[in-house]
C-alpha cells in the first residue's frame, strides 16, 4: 500500500512567559490552511499531536498540558496602526478541536520578538541597540497589545537576568501592555455586577449559590472565594489535578459562569468551549511553599490566586488571567479586590503555584461603566528551536 509522504512546514518553537507554542508565518502554511476552517484545524492538531486518547501528545510538538498545547499564526498587519496580526489557537489534547475563542497572554510576549526576527516589523524602526515597540493586533479578541522588545546589535536580545516564577532560567525582560483588554469590546462586567450570586448544583457547594466576580478583561474569567469551595488558595497542582471530583466541580462552576456571562446558552455547550472562560479562586495572603520549594511569605504578596486552564490547575498563571486579576483588583468591591484587602489600587502582587507575579491595571468609571485602559506585566520569551515541522501530507 502506498502512503502519502510527509511534508515540512517552516515553524518556530518558542517559549513566551510560562507557555510554549509552535509559531507559524501565515504565508508559510499550505494554501488550504491559510484561511480559517477544517483544513487549518486538522493541520494544527497534527502538528501538536492531537487528539491523543493517551493524553501525552507523543506524536507531536505538544507537551500534554494546556500551557504547551498551543499554536500561533502571524502575518504582517493590514492595519497601519499595527505591525503584526496575531492569531492564537488552543489545541485540545484528547479531543479533536482547536479553540479560537480567546488569547494567550503568555505567548503574547513571544509575538513581538518573533515579529522582529522574522521581518514583520519595518526594519527602519529597529534600533541597533535599544528597544523597539511592537504593536500587535490580537485577532481572536480584536484588541491591541504592545510589546517592548529589547535589541542588541540589531537583533532581538533574548538572554538576560529577568526571572519569572514558573520559568527555570532567567532571560531578557519583555514588558507587555494589553490595551483596553475587555474581550471583544463588551462590558467588563457582563452582568453589570461586581459580585454575583452564581447558582450551581447543590453538590458543588452547599446551598447551591456562591459569590462570583464575572469579569471580561484579558480573558473572560469566573472568580470565586477559595473558602466557599473548601480551599485555602495556597494549593499546588497535585492537590487538585489528581482529584477527579474536584475537577468536575470546577468545570460545573465554569459552565454555569459561562452561561451567566452570556458566553453560551446552555451548560452543555461548555464542553466545546474549553479555553474560555477561565475559573479561578482567590484568598487573602498566606505563606506557602511554591512548587519549586521556594518559600512565599504572606508579607510579600497581596493575595493568593489559583486558576484552571483546559480543565486542570495551571502550574503558574495564564497571562490573560493575570490581566483579569489586575483588572479586577483595580476595581473596588470585586472578590479579587476584597481578597487583596480592598481599597483603590493600581497594582497587585499575587501568589500562584510557582511563586509570585506583579501585575498592574488602570481602571476608570466612564458613564457608569468600568473601563480598563490597560493592563501591564513583564514576561520573557525565547526561541527554543526553529526550522520545519513535519506532518503526513494527508493530515489536512
Q: Catalytic amino acids?
A: 104, 318
87 forms beta bridges with 73
Q: Which three cell numbers stand for residue 300?
A: 510579600
> What's the Rg (C-alpha) of the chain?
20
Spatial distance between the Cα atoms of 120 and 118, rounded to a whole number of angstroms: 6
297 CB contacts (<8 Å, ≥6 apart)? Answer: 287
**How many other CB atoms are there within 10 angstroms of residue 232's CB atom?**
15
**How many other CB atoms are there within 10 angstroms of residue 336's CB atom?**
27
**How many other CB atoms are there within 10 angstroms of residue 177's CB atom?**
18
Do the beta carbons of residue 224 and residue 198 sit within 8 Å?
A: yes
Which ranges of the chain would DSSP assign to H, the alpha helix?
38-48, 105-117, 237-241, 244-260, 319-329, 335-339
Spatial distance between the Cα atoms of 330 and 332, rounded to a whole number of angstroms: 6
Please provide the DSSP assignment of 183-241 as one string: GGG--SSTTS-SSEEEE--TTTSTTSEEEEEEEEESEEEEEEEGGGGT--S---HHHHH
SS3 275: coil
215 forms beta bridges with 221
Amino acid at each position: 500500500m502506498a502512503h502519502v509522504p510527509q511534508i515540512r512546514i517552516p515553524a518556530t518553537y518558542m517559549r513566551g512567559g510560562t507557555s510554549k507554542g509552535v509559531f507559524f508565518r501565515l504565508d508559510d502554511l499550505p494554501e488550504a490552511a491559510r484561511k480559517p476552517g477544517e483544513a487549518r484545524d486538522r493541520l494544527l492538531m497534527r502538528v501538536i499531536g492531537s487528539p491523543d486518547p493517551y493524553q501525552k501528545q507523543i506524536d507531536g510538538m505538544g507537551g500534554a498540558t494546556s500551557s504547551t498545547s498551543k499554536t500561533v499564526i502571524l502575518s504582517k498587519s493590514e492595519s497601519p496602526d499595527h505591525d503584526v496580526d496575531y492569531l492564537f489557537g488552543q489545541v485540545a489534547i484528547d479531543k479533536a478541536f482547536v479553540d479560537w475563542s480567546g488569547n494567550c497572554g503568555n505567548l503574547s510576549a513571544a509575538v513581538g520578538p518573533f515579529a522582529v526576527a522574522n521581518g514583520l516589523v519595518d526594519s527602519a524602526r529597529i534600533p541597533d541597540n535599544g528597544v523597539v515597540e511592537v504593536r500587535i493586533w490580537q485577532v481572536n479578541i480584536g484588541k491591541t497589545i504592545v510589546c517592548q522588545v529589547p535589541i542588541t546589535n540589531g537583533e532581538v536580545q533574548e538572554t538576560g537576568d529577568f526571572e519569572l516564577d514558573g520559568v527555570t532560567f532567567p532571560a531578557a525582560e519583555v514588558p507587555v501592555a494589553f490595551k483596553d483588554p475587555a474581550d471583544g469590546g463588551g462590558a467588563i462586567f457582563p452582568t453589570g455586577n461586581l459580585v454575583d450570586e452564581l447558582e450551581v448544583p447543590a453538590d458543588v457547594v452547599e446551598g447551591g449559590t456562591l459569590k462570583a466576580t464575572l469579569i471580561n478583561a484579558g480573558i473572560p474569567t469566573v472568580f470565586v472565594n477559595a473558602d466557599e469551595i473548601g480551599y485555602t488558595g495556597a494549593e499546588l497542582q497535585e492537590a487538585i489535578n489528581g482529584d477527579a471530583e474536584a475537577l468536575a466541580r470546577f468545570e460545573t462552576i465554569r459552565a454555569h459562569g459561562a452561561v451567566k456571562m452570556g458566553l453560551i446558552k446552555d451548560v452543555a455547550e461548555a464542553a466545546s468551549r474549553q479555553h474560555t472562560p477561565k475559573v479561578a479562586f482567590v484568598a487573602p495572603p498566606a505563606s506557602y511553599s511554591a512548587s519549586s520549594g521556594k518559600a512565599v511569605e504572606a508579607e510579600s504578596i497581596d493575595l493568593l490566586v489559583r486558576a484552571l486552564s483546559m480543565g486542570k490547575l495551571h502550574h503558574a498563571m495564564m497571562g490573560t488571567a493575570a490581566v483579569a486579576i489586575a483588572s479586577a483588583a483595580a476595581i473596588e468591591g470585586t472578590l479579587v479586590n476584597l481578597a487583596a484587602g480592598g481599597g483603590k489600587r493600581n497594582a497587585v502582587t499575587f501568589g500562584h503555584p510557582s511563586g509570585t507575579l506583579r501585575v498592574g491595571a488602570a481602571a476608570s468609571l466612564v458613564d457608569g461603566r468600568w473601563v480598563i485602559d490597560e493592563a501591564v506585566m513583564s514576561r520573557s520569551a525565547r526561541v527554543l528551536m526553529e526550522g520545519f515541522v513535519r506532518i503526513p501530507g494527508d493530515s489536512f
